[in-house]
Amino acid sequence: MFKPSFTKTAVLLASVLMAGAVSAKEMKVGFVNVRAVFSQLPQATKVQETLKTEFGAKFAEMQKLESDLKFNIEKYKRDGSTMSEAQKKELQATMEKQQQQYEPMARSLEESYRQRENEERNKLMGLVKTAIDAIAAKEQYDVILNAEAAVFAKPEYDISSAVVAQVSKAK
């Protein structure tokens, strides 16, 4: 069925692989739950407060415009049948103007907010990565995995709390 040379090659390959597996050193593997680390960092709370302060007035302005637009839409639906044509045209023009102001404002604000949030998140991620590297070197880990990538891991290999402690100390 199989050629003798193929069988000999397969047996030789299997024995080499088995010998390599026996002589391989044991690896020390740890894991960190990056999402949980971020949620526990005092710097993350500070970032959210900073962004809220930075963008709060702009969001309030956008929400005011949005509520004015919704009010006018409801007014048109509710009172449109009793309005004169001139009143309808005036209200429609107002709604169009509000809509034209709202859409670019909302898009621009969301983009700006998302960009700033990403900048701040990347700064924090740099701190987290530095902490992970330092802990891995100190504890002599060969591999650190994200907890979300691991199907199973014993809790004693979780370095998340150590990462939170180290990043919390950083300024």
Asked whether residue 19 carries a pLDDT value surpassing 70, the answer given is: no
For the segment 88-142, what is each residue's pLDDT rounded down to a tens digit? Answer: 999 999 999 999 999 999 999 999 999 999 999 999 999 999 999 999 999 999 9
Task: Give the mean model confidence (pLDDT) for residues 7-20.
Answer: 48
The model's pTM is 0.68
Better pLDDT: 37 or 24: 37
Give me the CATH topology for the region 4-169: Protein Binding, DinI Protein; Chain A (3.30.910)
Give the list of residues 6+ apart from residue 140 with CB closer than 8 angstroms, or none: 28
**Per-residue pLDDT for 64 more than 70?**
yes
